[in-house]
Amino acid sequence: MNDSIYKVIQLIGTSEVSWEDAAKNAVETAGKTLDDLRIAEIEKLDMRVENGKVNAYRARVNLSFKYYHEK
């Protein structure tokens, strides 16, 4: 049996459009430097407000990827 180990990191993605885009930005940016991404879990959603108007969406994402190590 091949046991696997996964590492979980927390990222915050931002977008001026939506929470969905903010989460997508976080995952896709991480995917440029991390291999074997597995699960993304939205932990928290919030907005940045300026002068009474929403000007950015933020998504806090827990992202797991397969952890490799040399034996």
Per-residue pLDDT band for 1 (boundaries 50, 70, 90) equals very low
Q: How many beta carbons lie within 10 A of that of residue 25, not counting itself? A: 19
Does position 40 have pLDDT exceeding 80, yes or no?
A: yes
Which stretches does DSSP call E strand in the chain? 6-15, 37-50, 53-66
Domains, the chain, with CATH or none: 7-62 (3.30.1660.10)
**pLDDT at residue number 68:** 75
Tell the burial category of 22 from Cβ atoms under 10 Å away from its Cβ (0-12, 13-18, 19+).
Answer: buried
Angle at 22 between CA 18 and CA 28, to 5 degrees: 135
Phi/psi of residue 65, nearest 5 degrees: -145, 155
Write down the pTM of the prediction: 0.83
What does pLDDT average to over the chain? 93
